[in-house]
């Protein structure tokens, strides 16, 4: 069974790759072929595994869902319990990037390619809100649902100002369905217009540029405990996805593989993530306020 989910960053999110030879010492993880930022599914599974530890879950059910503890597997009396977990968390791929805008403070930006990939993840979900079509942009530029809906993010002369970019804007009514779909799941309750007024689709090349340059960069230092000044060589730059970034992924589940613990795939997902909209701590730098995210299940499970 599979079920898509959204990962909505409420604070800066750093899912890193370790050291880098570039100017950014601690970059975020990006897919090698596309350059799209992502959060590894193994990291998300680790967060859920830790969050749902007993007594929140029965120990046998917890082991059935996430797999037994490695410490237990090394014990002779636990050898018969060695089995795989029943849940799989797919990587969460960026689908909406908040970008500074000359008007409206910021815009949630995506591209036709990113929406096509998101729509593939949403296939088969029994949700009437899933949009039927994806907009197309054949040259450098941007699309909005309508001048009336998006009047707060671009000038009357038909120009959108994102970061240092000036992009010509055209209207595309197919964006209204995507705006409504994300607004119901991302915007504060009772205020869907906060999202719909700022939802913009740009061409794929511009989106690639923004994904590389519109992320958050923080310069950090480490103080010497004795002198209370910056330690030698302890100056570095961290890259984060900015707050309000939205990523999409897929949860997979199978029946329990643990003897005497019977769980159907639907029960496995419900045990791992009982609430359809829950906030967790993801990624690194938690002590500096980073990594607070919502995990939102979409639609019903797909068998």
Going by CATH, does the domain composed of 1-28+41-90+219-303 fall within 3.30.70?
yes
- Cβ atoms < 10 Å from Cβ of 98: 20
Q: What is the pTM of this model?
A: 0.90
Q: Which helix (H) or strand (E) holds 251?
A: strand 246-253
Give the chain's radius of gyration (CA, Å). Answer: 21
Cis status of the peptide bond prior to 245, with omega within 30 of 0? no
Q: Which of 211-215, 251-255, 297-301 has the lowest mean pLDDT?
A: 297-301
3-state helix, strand, coil in the chain (%, to 5): 25, 30, 45
Q: Model confidence over 153-169: pLDDT tens digits?
A: 777 778 899 999 999 99
What tokens appear for 117 in the block?
């990939």
- Cβ atoms < 10 Å from Cβ of 142: 26
DSSP of 105-145 = SEEEEE-HHHHHHHHHHHTT---TTS-S------SS-EEES
What is the spatial distance between Cα 212 and Cα 91, in angstroms, rounded to a whole number?
19
Tell me: pLDDT of 273 over 80: yes
pLDDT at 71: 61
- Domain spans in the chain, listed from the N-terminal domain onward: 1-28+41-90+219-303, 100-214
pLDDT at 80: 46
């Amino acid at each position: 069974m599979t079920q898509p989910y959204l990962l909505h960053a409420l604070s800066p999110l750093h899912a890193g790759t370790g050291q880098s030879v570039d100017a950014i010492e601690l970059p975020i993880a990006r897919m090698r072929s596309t350059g799209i930022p992502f959060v590894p599914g193994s990291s998300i599974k680790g967060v859920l595994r830790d969050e749902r530890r007993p007594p929140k879950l029965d120990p046998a059910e917890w082991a059935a869902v996430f797999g037994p503890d490695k410490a237990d597997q090394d014990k002779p009396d636990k050898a018969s319990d060695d089995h795989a977990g029943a849940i799989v968390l797919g990587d969460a791929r960026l689908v909406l990037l908040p970008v500074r805008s000359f008007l409206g403070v910021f815009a949630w930006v995506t591209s036709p390619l990113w929406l096509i990939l998101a729509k593939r993840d949403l296939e088969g979900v029994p949700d009437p809100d899933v949009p039927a079509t994806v907009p197309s942009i054949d040259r450098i530029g941007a699309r909005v649902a309508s001048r009336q809906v998006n009047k707060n993010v671009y000038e009357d002369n038909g120009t959108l100002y994102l970061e240092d970019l000036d992009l010509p804007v055209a209207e595309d009514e197919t964006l209204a369905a995507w705006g409504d779909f994300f607004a119901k799941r991302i915007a504060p309750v009772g205020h869907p217009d906060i999202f719909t007024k700022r939802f913009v689709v740009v061409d794929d090349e511009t989106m690639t540029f923004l994904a590389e340059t519109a992320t958050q960069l923080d310069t950090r230092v480490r103080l010497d405990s004795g002198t209370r000044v910056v330690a030698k060589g302890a100056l570095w730059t961290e890259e984060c996805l900015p707050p309000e970034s939205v990523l999409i992924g897929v949860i997979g589940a199978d029946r329990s593989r643990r003897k005497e613990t019977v769980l159907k795939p639907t029960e496995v997902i419900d045990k791992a993530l009982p609430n359809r909209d829950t906030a967790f701590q993801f990624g690194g730098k938690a002590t500096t306020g980073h990594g607070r995210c919502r995990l939102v299940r979409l639609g019903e499970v797909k068998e």
